[in-house]
Amino acid sequence: MNKINYFSAVLSAALLWTVACGDSRPAKPDPPQGGQAKPPKPVAQVNPFESPETLARMFHKSLSANDAIQMMHLSMLGAPTNSWMEFTSKMYQHSNRLLAQNLADLEAANPREQRTEAEQARIFNLMAQRRQMDIAFTNSLQRLSVELPNMRETFLQRGFLDVVLQFKAAGLDPAQLTVSRIDTSQLTDTYQGIAMRGGPMTLWFAQGKTPLDITLTLVVAKVPHHGWVFVQDPKLNVPAVQGPAEPPPGK
């Protein structure tokens, strides 16, 4: 899942954080003398998609627990079908409008008989791009049920491992870290040029009481009918090691 193009994916049978079915009500305690016992307050369920900050902390929790399946559900692969449909449709419509505007500008610049061969070739190229984009978008929706299992399996086998290996290469154990700060200042209301909140989010870590200068970038988006998910490969940012300066040539 290097980036979101015109692929679609659906939610699996159930999210890991869904409460299991069945009668799990605790036994009613005996009321104290002289009054009626108050029922216990239900435990609040955390919705990992309600905000980018909650998503960030749930991401770290899944990484610390070495839980590839939970992390996958925090990505776009965990979004339901209608979320994917609307998201990809918006991106397709935006790209189509840009191509249409470029094509209209080129055609309006010169009448057909006054265009150079290069100008006319550019117009033909844009027309071909629009047709190819239409076909690719239609095919991606039709192959939804075929692509999803492959995309999910790829993430479970390689995508999650890539994240783990980034931390390992930096000499860090995610379970020994805490998220000390979350920077959402780069989020925009027009992610990828469409009316959708999203963009890069930065997680800062601490080890014990020691703040680290290593950060994690999560590109996230608030997809329709679902909430916040990460939509690109997570990237650990490790500052370059400052070694001794190289001597000038000839020294």
Model pLDDT for residues 117-136, shown as the tens digit of each residue: 888 888 888 888 888 888 88
Alpha carbon distance 226, 29 (integer Å): 38
- Interhelix angle 160-169/52-64, rounded to 10 degrees, is 80
Mean pLDDT of 47-71: 94
Position 28 in a domain? no
Model pLDDT for residues 60-91, shown as the tens digit of each residue: 999 999 999 999 999 999 888 788 888 888 88
Q: Count of domains in the chain?
A: 1
Which tops the pLDDT comparison, 43 or 205? Answer: 205
Position 88 in a domain? yes
pLDDT at 249: 63
Position 92 in a domain? yes
pLDDT band at 149; cut points 50, 70, 90: confident
Position 18 in a domain? no
Model pLDDT for residues 174-188, shown as the tens digit of each residue: 999 999 999 999 999
Position 123 in a domain? yes
Question: Does 139 have pLDDT greater than 60?
Answer: yes
Other CB atoms within 10 A of residue 244 CB: 5
Residue 68: name the closest of 79, 78, 53 by CA: 78
Contacts for 100 with CB less than 8 Å, ≥ 6 apart: 130
Position 204 in a domain? yes
pLDDT at 241: 65
Position 22 in a domain? no
Contacts for 161 with CB less than 8 Å, ≥ 6 apart: none
Model pLDDT for residues 157-168, shown as the tens digit of each residue: 999 999 999 999
Domain of residue 108 covers: 52-237
